[in-house]
Amino acid sequence: MITDPHIPDADGFYEAWLRAHEGLSETQSADLNARLVLLLANQCGEQDVLLSCVAAASEGIRA
């Protein structure tokens, strides 16, 4: 799992991601995020890496 910055224009990506959410309801925004996660996971395609990412993202979320 890559944890060091790896996106050439991270700020530009984040800005585009936020723009994609403009005007959406909370439900539509959640749907967009879910679709994006699934598309990016498919691009990665490495089950072990994806599971490591799920575990890392889950840390500290549940009390």
E-strand spans in the chain?
Answer: none
- 24: part of which helix (H) or strand (E)? none
Instruction: Please classify residue 37 by burial: count the beta carbons closer than 10 Å to its beta carbon, then call 0-12 exposed, 13-18 middle and 19+ buried.
Output: middle
Residue 20's pLDDT is 98
pTM of the model: 0.83
Residue 62's pLDDT is 80
The string of pLDDT tens digits covering residues 7-25 is 999 999 999 999 999 999 9
Q: Is the pLDDT of residue 50 over 80?
A: yes
Instruction: Determine contact, residues 41/50, Cβ cutoff 8 Å.
Output: yes
The whole-angstrom distance between residue 7's C-alpha and the CA centroid of its chain comes to 13
Q: Is the pLDDT of residue 63 over 80?
A: no
Helices 26-44 and 47-58: crossing angle in degrees, nearest 10, is 140
The string of pLDDT tens digits covering residues 28-44 is 999 999 999 999 999 99
- Domain ranges for the chain, please list them: 28-63
